[in-house]
Chains A and B, each alone.
Chain A
Amino acid sequence: MTAPLLETQELRKTFGRLAAVAGVSLNLTEGTLTAIIGPNGAGKTTLINLLTGLLVPDAGTVRFKGEDITRLPPHGRVRRGLSRSFQIMNIFPSLTARQNLLLPVLSRLGRNLRALTRLDRETEADAEVEALLREIGLWEKRDARAGALSHGDQRLLELGIAVGTRPELCFLDEPCSGMNPIERQAVMGLMRKLSGERRTTFVIIEHDMDVVFSLSQRIVVMNHGEVLADGTPDAIRENRAVREIYLGGEV
Chain B
Amino acid sequence: MAMATGSPQGHTRASWRAGVALGLLLLVLFLLPLVGGQYAQYLAIQVMILSLFALGFNILFGYTGLLSFGQAGFYAVGAYGCAKLLLLKPSLLFGVLGGVAVAGVAALILGILCIRHTRIYFSMLTLAFGMMIYSIALKWRDFTGGDDGLVGVPRAPLEIPGLVHLSMASMGRYYYFVLVITLIAVALAYRLVHSPLGLTLRGIRDSEGRMAFTGVPVRTYRLIAFVIAGLYAGLAGALLPPLENTVTPPMAHWTTSADPVLATLLGGIHAFAGPIVGAFLLFMIKDIIVRFTEYWLIWLGLIVVVLVMGCPGGVVSLARARWLAPRPDGEGS
**Which positions in A face B, CB cutoff 8 Å?**
52, 54, 73-75, 78-79, 83-84, 86, 90-96, 98-99, 102-104, 106-108, 111-120, 122-123, 125-127, 130, 143-145, 161-162, 164-165
Contacts and interface: CB of A to CB of B under 8 A. Distances in A.
A93 B202 CA distance: 10
A103 B214 contact: yes
Contacts, number: 129
Interface in B196-211: 196-200, 202-203, 205-207, 209-211
Of A93, A113, A145, A164, the most chain B CB neighbours within 10 A belong to A113
A171 to B, nearest CB: 10
Contacts of B205: 94
B212 interface: yes
- Residue among B6, B194, B206, B213 with the most chain A CB within 10 A? B213
Interface residues of B, number: 37
B3 to A, nearest CB: 5
A165 B216 CA distance: 11
Contact of B196 (A83, A91, A95, A111): A111
Contacts of B215: 75, 78-79, 104, 107-108, 165
Nearest to B201: A112
A5 B329 CA distance: 38
B210 to A, nearest CB: 5
Contacts of A126: 1, 3
Contact of A122 (B192, B196, B224): B196
A126 to B, nearest CB: 5
A107 B263 CA distance: 33
B199 A95 contact: yes
A115 B211 CA distance: 18
Contacts of B210: 86, 90-92, 161
Nearest to A115: B197
Interface in B180-239: 188, 191-192, 194-200, 202-203, 205-207, 209-218, 221, 224
